Amino acid sequence: MSTPLRVALVAADCAWTRGAWDFPAPTGRREWKGIQNTPNDVRLLTQHLTTLYRERCRSREDRRPTRKAGAA
């Protein structure tokens, strides 16, 4: 999968320059300007985006047609 396609999996959930991030509890919703370049916020964003990405990849795999044994 190309990088643009990988980014597209989580792009709708990103609030880099406007909007808000919807983090799981207990953090909850945070405005885009409320995220800082601190170790805690970097960790929060990293974990959030990694989790979203992995969930979306699994979801895509679940929808992929399976091949039958012996099929070419």
Residue 39 reports pLDDT greater than 60: yes
Question: Tell me: the pLDDT tens digits for 1-12?
Answer: 788 888 899 999
pLDDT at 64 over 80: no
Q: pTM above 0.85?
A: no
Q: What's the CA gap between 65 and 72, in Å, rounded? A: 14
pLDDT > 80? residue 69: no
Closest CA to 14 of 37, 36, 38, 30: 30
